């Protein structure tokens, strides 16, 4: 185990004990889980994407309807990063706990698909995914892979092969509702879990930020792993204000009985 102070070591072991004794652990992840893979987050001071661009101008549903070229111009370098990114040790650790039967559901705010590439199976993408696209005119759905190469190479806006309508990535833009079926499953998972582990999320974006409270209201334990403090710190059983890539692998070692 890497060098941690005594309090951090104790909290890692307490978190592992809670997960090991659980019957239904749900993990909620945010942008902080993917930043070690090279994907920038949106809200960090100085480095967040919204420090450089106005989201209402480039990533709102209204803007996309009237000026899709603005969205695709803004999205292109981010999409290139996401396509090339690889799962990090935090993603792999979560998948390992799922494979071992300790984690039942992963709820993620991320759109990059890295959980699935790491091996997680039951993933609820509440903010959508870049892996699929839908025509705004005829609603034909496409696997994004068939359009990504041309878009990334030339910057041309992807279009439907049936009606020539513009394709919109299946991600939730500002002013757009979250996918209803996925959201209902996420709420049900929080309602029935006995442990929620929040990893790499500042819990600042509603309605996802309210999911830990829903879990607590139903008697679940709460574990928080995030570099910055969150509004739920005072309600958590364990708070680890550390990097997820350092903490999660060590929680897994302890859960599986391989800790130092």
Residue by residue, pLDDT tens for the chain (260 residues) are 457 889 999 999 999 999 999 999 999 999 999 999 999 875 544 444 444 556 667 788 998 999 999 999 988 988 999 989 999 999 999 999 999 999 999 999 999 999 999 999 999 999 999 999 999 999 999 999 888 888 999 989 999 999 999 999 999 998 899 999 999 999 999 999 999 999 999 999 889 999 999 999 999 999 999 999 999 999 999 999 999 999 999 999 999 986 54
CA 148 to chain centroid, in Å, comes to 21
The structure's pTM equals: 0.92
Domain end (from 136, 171, 206)? 171
- Element spanning 130, H or E: strand 128-135
Give the pLDDT of residue 242.
95
Identify whether residues 159 and 121 lie together within a single domain.
Answer: no
Name the residue range of residue 149's domain: 40-84+128-171
Per the structure, the count of domains in the chain is 2
Of 259, 253, 252, the C-alpha closest to 94 is: 252
Q: Catalytic site residue 91? A: no
Biggest alpha carbon–alpha carbon distance for the chain: 62
Identify whether residues 98 and 205 lie together within a single domain.
Answer: yes
Q: Contact 79/152 with Cβ under 8 angstroms?
A: yes
Identify whether residues 196 and 233 lie together within a single domain.
Answer: yes
Identify whether residues 12 and 121 lie together within a single domain.
Answer: yes
The active-site residue, picked from 73, 91, 115, 127, is 127
């Amino acid at each position: 185990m890497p060098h941690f102070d005594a309090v951090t070591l104790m909290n890692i072991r307490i978190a592992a004990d809670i997960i090991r004794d659980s019957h239904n652990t749900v993990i909620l992840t945010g942008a902080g889980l993917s930043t070690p893979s090279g994907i920038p987050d949106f809200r960090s001071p100085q480095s967040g994407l919204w420090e450089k661009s106005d989201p209402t101008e480039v990533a709102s549903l209204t803007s996309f309807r009237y000026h899709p070229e603005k969205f695709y111009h803004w999205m292109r370098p981010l999409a290139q990063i996401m396509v090339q990114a690889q799962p990090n040790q935090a993603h792999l650790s979560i998948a390992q706990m799922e494979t071992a039967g300790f984690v039942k559901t992963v709820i993620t705010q991320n759109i990059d698909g890295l959980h699935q590439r790491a091996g997680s199976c039951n993933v609820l993408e509440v903010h959508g995914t870049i892996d699929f696209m839908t025509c705004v005119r005829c609603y034909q759905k496409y696997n994004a892979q068939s359009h990504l190469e041309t878009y990334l190479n030339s910057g041309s806006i992807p279009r439907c092969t049936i009606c020539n309508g513009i394709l919109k990535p299946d991600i939730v833009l500002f002013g757009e509702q979250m996918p209803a079926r996925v959201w209902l499953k996420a709420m049900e998972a929080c309602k029935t879990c006995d442990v929620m582990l929040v990893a790499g999320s500042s819990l600042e974006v509603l309605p996802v930020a309210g999911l830990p409270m829903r879990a607590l209201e139903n008697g679940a334990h709460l574990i928080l792993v995030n570099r910055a403090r969150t509004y739920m710190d005072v309600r958590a059983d364990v708070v680890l204000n550390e990097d997820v890539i350092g903490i999660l692998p060590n929680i897994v070692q302890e859960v599986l009985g391989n800790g130092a």
